[in-house]
Amino acid sequence: MLVRAKTPTSSSSHKSMFTTPFYSATYLRTKYSYSYSPTYSHTYLHIQMEPSTTPQKQKDLSRDLRLKVQTLREIGWTYSKIAEHLKITPRQVQYACSMRPTPQKKRCGRKAIIDAESLQMLVEFVCASTENRQMPYKQIPWKLGWDVTEDAIRSALKKEGFFRRIARRKPSILEKNRLLRLAWAHEHLDWTTEQWKTILWSDETWVNGTRHRKIWVTRRAHEEYDLTCIVPRHSGKDGWMF
């Protein structure tokens, strides 16, 4: 590479030539020489550039390769022998032996207020009865004697799949009648469409003038028809049947 520079007039100017950007490159080592042109009164600096000697960043080892390194190290191989066998550097071998095969991510965020043992106790309390299913979150800490907030109860139950849902309303059925209905359902399980067409269907509903309100329960998705999640429906004395 040929770079033209001003003709040096003194030692100070000769020294200033080396402060130009051409000679302050970080990643290049240069060999230079001077030539002088009498015709044009210019000094030429011949720069011979060599390839960069900055070490390249090594790629991270895969999980399988780290397992191989640790296995060979356990049977007594040295770092240099492992590096030569697997075509990696001794530093990579040392790093693989000091770390776990699978990178472990650090857990971030605030530590859970309710630990695993307390969480199990909370789930058992909620599933114990219909009253506990219908209990609002803000009343549960007082009932259990815990010094936690409503949000802590909600977050803990959410981890276990519990949410507040509207309870299903079903008529109150005696155990005897429930077994009879179940047996009837099993008997007619394989009926065809033509057989069902021979049945005359009737329906009725009870309407009263009282105030209706929704009842919420704490349950999982598959507990929709759990006995503790169902609200019995009783016919009122005052009302109309259709």
Identify whether 103 is part of a domain.
no
Q: What is the mean pLDDT of residues 169-190?
A: 87
Residue type, 105: K
Does 117 lie in the same domain as 23? no
Identify whether 15 is part of a domain.
yes
Q: What is the 3-state secondary structure of 128-193?
A: CCHHHHHCCHHHHHHHHCCCCCHHHHHHHHHHCCCEEEECEEEECCCHHHHHHHHHHHHHCCCCCH
Q: What is the mean pLDDT of residues 15-19?
A: 44
Percent of the chain with pLDDT over 70: 64
Identify whether 17 is part of a domain.
yes
Does 67 lie in the same domain as 45? no
Question: Which range of residues forms the domain containing residue 27?
Answer: 2-49
Contacts 24+ apart (CB under 8 A), 107-113: 112/155, 112/156, 113/148, 113/152, 113/156
Does 85 lie in the same domain as 9? no
Identify whether 188 is part of a domain.
no
Does 232 lie in the same domain as 137? yes
SS3 label, residue 75: coil
From CA 74, how far away is CA 219, in angstroms rounded?
Answer: 51
From CA 112, how far away is CA 155, in angstroms rounded?
Answer: 9
Q: Using the predicted structure, report yes or no on whether residue 75 has a pLDDT greater than 50.
A: yes
Q: Using the predicted structure, report yes or no on whether residue 12 has a pLDDT greater than 60.
A: no
Does 229 lie in the same domain as 165? yes
Count of domains in the chain? Answer: 3
Residue 122 and residue 157 in contact, taking contact as beta carbons nearer than 8 Å: yes
Q: Hey, which of 64-78, 127-141, 206-220 has the most confident mean pLDDT? A: 127-141
Identify whether 199 is part of a domain.
no
Q: Using the predicted structure, report yes or no on whether residue 108 has a pLDDT greater than 90.
A: no
Q: Using the predicted structure, report yes or no on whether residue 148 has a pLDDT greater than 80.
A: yes
Does 128 lie in the same domain as 24? no
Q: What's the token pair of residue 121? A: 């106790």
Identify whether 56 is part of a domain.
no
Q: Using the predicted structure, report yes or no on whether residue 115 has a pLDDT greater than 80.
A: yes
Identify the residue whose tokens are 């990643």.
27
Does 129 lie in the same domain as 86? no
Does 132 lie in the same domain as 39? no
Does 156 lie in the same domain as 90? no
Given this model, what pLDDT does residue 177 score?
87
Identify whether 173 is part of a domain.
yes
Given this model, what pLDDT does residue 125 score?
95
Q: Using the predicted structure, report yes or no on whether residue 35 has a pLDDT greater than 60.
A: no
From CA 162, how far away is CA 164, in angstroms rounded?
Answer: 7
Residue 83 and residue 89 in contact, taking contact as beta carbons nearer than 8 Å: yes
pTM over 0.85: no
The answer for residues whose C-beta is within 8 angstroms of residue 129's C-beta and 6 or more apart is 228
Identify whether 161 is part of a domain.
yes
**Which residue in 90, 96, 102 sits closest to 74, CA to CA?**
96
From CA 94, how far away is CA 17, in angstroms rounded?
Answer: 46
Does 133 lie in the same domain as 44? no
Q: What is the mean pLDDT of residues 83-91?
A: 89
Does 124 lie in the same domain as 19? no
Does 178 lie in the same domain as 129? yes
Given this model, what pLDDT does residue 56 score?
60
Q: Using the predicted structure, report yes or no on whether residue 19 has a pLDDT greater than 90.
A: no
